[in-house]
Amino acid sequence: MLRHQKHKKQAKHNKGLLQEHCFPDPCTVKTVMYKDWNITVTFYVALHYIQSYLCKNRMRYGYRTNFRNHNDRNNYLARISVRDSRINQIVTDYIALFKASCIARYNPCSYKRLNNRDLCDYEKFASQDLPKALGI
pLDDT band, very low/low/confident/very high, at 21 (cuts 50, 70, 90): confident
The closest of 33, 5, 64, 38 to 124, measured between CA atoms, is 38
Task: For residues 12 and 4, give the distance between their C-alpha atoms in angstroms, rounded to a whole number.
Answer: 13
Count of beta carbons in the 10 Å neighbourhood of residue 21: 5
With 0.85 as the threshold, say if the pTM is over it.
Answer: yes
The DSSP line for 92-116 is HHHHHHHHHHHHHHHSTTGGGG--H
SS3 category, 83: coil
| CB-count burial class (<10 Å; 0-12, 13-18, 19+) for 37 | middle
Res 50 pLDDT > 90: yes
User: For 58-95, how does the pLDDT look when each residue is reduced to its tens digit (9 = 90+)?
Assistant: 988 899 999 999 999 999 999 999 999 999 999 999 99
